[in-house]
Amino acid sequence: MFKKLAVIIMSVFLVSGASAATPGLEVQAAAKKTEIIVSAAASLQDSLDKIAVQYEKQHPDIDLVFNYGASGTLQKQIEQGAPADLFFSAGDKQMKALVDGGLISESRQLLKNQLVLVVPVSSKTKITSITQLTDKAFKKVAVGQPESVPAGQYAQQSLTAKKVWDTLQSKLVFAKDVRQVLSYVETGNADAGFVYKTDALTSAKVKIALTVGAHVHKAINYPVGIVKESDHQAEAKAFYNYVQTKAAGSIFTSYGFSLANE
């Protein structure tokens, strides 16, 4: 009888131990996921977040972690050794700097975009040229910081080409990235702002007042590259290849981007 009791007690302990160990096993399994850090231009956030959901379903062993910001800021972070496996830039300049610095192992053009001028959706002002921003109706005009934000660089090039960049200096409100420009216009902290077409399409609080002619600024290209110092070259290459597929391309175009090969 005592032997049977001992066996029963031992069995209970074994079952309890197995049950207690199960959560630990689950945690251990989850910890085996490979984390891929993707530094990407802020204007790509909506499309990449959606692509990530699909990709992680197909690759349950991969955890995509995104670091969104201004392309110039992300470039500097990579140059200073910040962890990153992939870099999506909203401009050729930032990618070229990393390629020339030997920090990118492989890169290619991925997408194209358009620069637009947005105003609050309630605005009644009709704009036919960006030179109208010098009018009294526009007290604050938001642009990305040209030193680090490609959209700000394209805006500066456009306004300079139209000979109003210097005239507008007292009106300009500089933002850390293109999404902050959008936010300034959405909240009424700016009467107008220069963003990408893709950003404008994400907001119900603004409307496109004007599409800036491509002839007054450099081509808006979005290259993608694999960071040479990545500890996960194979996994980074796999996602690099995936964003070039038709499945990913259809998501990018649904958000207003054009494919580089079109």
Rounded CA separation 213/181 (Å): 20
Report the run of H or E that residue 178 belongs to, with start and end. Answer: helix 178-186
Number of residues in the chain: 262
In sign, the C-alpha dihedral spanning 246, 247, 252, 255 is positive
Report the run of H or E that residue 92 belongs to, with start and end. Answer: helix 92-100
Angle subtended by helix axes 92-100 and 71-79, to nearest 10: 10
Q: Answer yes or no: are the C-beta atoms of 38 and 145 closer than 8 Å.
A: no
Task: Please report the DSSP string for 187-201 in residue order.
Answer: TTS-SEEEEEHHHHT
> Would you write out the chain's pLDDT as a tens digit for each of its 262 residues?
434 434 434 444 443 444 444 455 454 545 589 999 999 999 999 999 999 999 999 999 999 999 999 999 999 999 999 999 999 999 999 999 999 999 999 999 999 999 999 999 999 999 999 999 999 999 999 999 999 999 999 999 999 999 999 999 999 999 999 999 999 999 999 999 999 999 999 999 999 999 999 999 999 999 999 999 999 999 999 999 999 999 999 999 999 999 998 7
- C-alpha separations of 252 from 111, 116, 163, 196, 201 in Å: 8, 18, 34, 13, 12
Q: What is the pTM of this model?
A: 0.83
Cα diameter, the chain: 100
